[in-house]
Structure 1
Amino acid sequence: MFELTGFQRDLLYVIAGAERPSGQEIKEMISKDVGEVNHGRLYPNLDALVEQGYVNKGQHDRRTNFYEMSEKGRESILDRRAWEDRRVSFLK
Structure 2
Amino acid sequence: MDHLTAFQRDLLYVIADFDKPSGQTVSDELQKYYDSEIQYGRLYPNLDTLVDYGLVEKGQLDRRTNYYALTEAGHEAFRDRREWENQYIDL
TM range (shorter): over 0.9
Q: What are the ranges of 5 or more consecutive residues in structure 2 without an aligned counterpart?
A: none
Following superposition, the deviation at residue 78 of structure 1 comes to 1.0
Give the match for residue 77 of structure 2.
76
Following superposition, the deviation at residue 87 of structure 1 comes to 1.5
* Matched AA of 1:42: L
Q: What are the ranges of 5 or more consecutive residues in structure 1 without an aligned counterpart?
A: none
Aligned-CA RMSD value: 0.9
**What is the 5 A alignment of 1:19-58?**
19-35=19-35, 36-58=37-59
* Matched AA of 2:76: E
* Matched AA of 1:5: T
* Matched AA of 2:60: Q
* Matched AA of 1:86: Q
| Cα distance in 1 for residues equivalent to 2:23 and 2:55 | 15
Give the match for residue 18 of structure 1.
18
* Matched AA of 2:10: D
Deviations 1:24-68 (A, max 9, x none): 000001110112211011000000000010000000011000000
TM-score (norm: length of structure 2) = 0.95
| Cα distance in 1 for residues equivalent to 2:23 and 2:48 | 11
TM-score (norm: length of structure 1) = 0.94
Using the aligned pairs only, state the percent identity. 53
